[in-house]
Amino acid sequence: MQPSTQGSLDTTAEYKVSLATVIPNHVDDVVSGPCSPSGASSIGAFLAAVRARVDARLREALDEYEAFTLEAAPDAVGILEAARDLTFRGGKRLRPALLAASVACIDPTAYPDAVADLGAALELLQTYLLVHDDWMDDDPVRRGAPSVHVALAKLYGDRHIGASAAILAGDLMGTLVHDLVARIELPTARRRGVLKAFCRMEHEVILGQCLDVTHSPDTDRVHHLKTGSYTVRGPLLLGLELAGGGESARRALDAYGTPLGVAFQLRDDVLGAFGTEAETGKPVGGDFREGKRTALVQHALAHLGEAGAKELTGLLGHRDASDRDVARARSLIEASGAREHVESRIRSLREQSIAALQTDVLRPEGRDLLASFAALMTERRV
């Protein structure tokens, strides 16, 4: 397979046309809010088009797996259906969009089918991780509906069987992830680079999850490995390998992606503490009830004073905590200055990311997209 030979890109309008096979240019704008040079309309159309392309590929792959499942073990199709439902129940498709933006930084015409396949693989990796994460955290809701282990417990009429089936549902998505990646048609050197980057990304997120569930106090390392790996840095490096970028481009994308990955997770922590269920799709106060030592909690414990820190500690880690207890924990964190501190850090990390884009080794249309994503991912409300 050879890359497309479409023309060079000098403007956002030309960019949409040139990437037509990956990013259709007829999609309406769907994202509003703060974005950088290209503006909300460009990033909105870009995200909508990535979603359309990736979702189509996801349906093809999941239909194929469902057909095989129905033939081989029709009684087990419930695990596939539950994972499929989660995959299409919301999700922002940010990871495939960052992958496509990274490709745009190097060679916007490079292997559009492989871009779509890798984007679909990233979304199924997200499904696999969410299924297992919700079971580990005993979260009953994800994206506004029952988590997969809860849905399967209802299907099979048994909590333990539901949990066991959910683990298998996640494993099945992991199998499909590797199937999609294995099918990608690229020149040997690029394919090897993509496979190596994907495996490293998956290795890092598993290590980060281990640190998270064992309550590591090193929150920056947790954020870097668990979230930054497959949400920002991984998609960027996959795009670099696919498009044939060099070492200078790798350094630029890593300098952009590393602080943004931490900022994204810090925004997640703020939303988990102060957001609403309508915004997050999860019950309010879940992080408090799980006893997570987020950056917010760690700052609060260090600045509340002995009495306040003791009270906050006593409110954390209780699955049956009342809404009043959650509200009190939020109040203590707010009073400690933790929210203001974390918001300031998010802004600083975003500025670091955008500053890293001031380089000629990345194409300008790709840089504009990444600058827009830096704002979108750190100022989001969902």
- What domains are defined for the chain? 23-378 (1.10.600.10)
Alpha carbon distance 208, 228 (integer Å)? 9
pLDDT score at 194: 96
3-state secondary structure of 146: strand
Alpha carbon distance 246, 167 (integer Å)? 39
First to last CA, the chain: 39
Q: Are 194 and 242 in contact (CB under 8 A)?
A: yes
Q: Could you tell me the pTM of the whole model?
A: 0.84
Map tokens 């015409």 to a residue: 109
The gap from C-alpha 193 to its chain's centroid, in whole angstroms, comes to 21
Alpha carbon distance 381, 358 (integer Å)? 27
pLDDT score at 204: 96
3-state secondary structure of 47: helix
DSSP characters over 288-318:
HHHT---HHHHHHHHHS-HHHHHHHHHHSS-
Which segments in the chain show pLDDT lower than 70? 1-41, 281, 381-382
Length of the chain: 382
* DSSP code at position 324: H
The string of pLDDT tens digits covering residues 143-175 is 889 999 999 999 999 999 999 999 999 999 999
The string of pLDDT tens digits covering residues 24-83 is 332 222 222 222 333 444 788 899 999 999 999 999 999 999 999 999 999 999 999 999
pLDDT score at 382: 60
Q: Which two tokens stand for residue 81?
A: 């259906």
Alpha carbon distance 113, 121 (integer Å)? 12
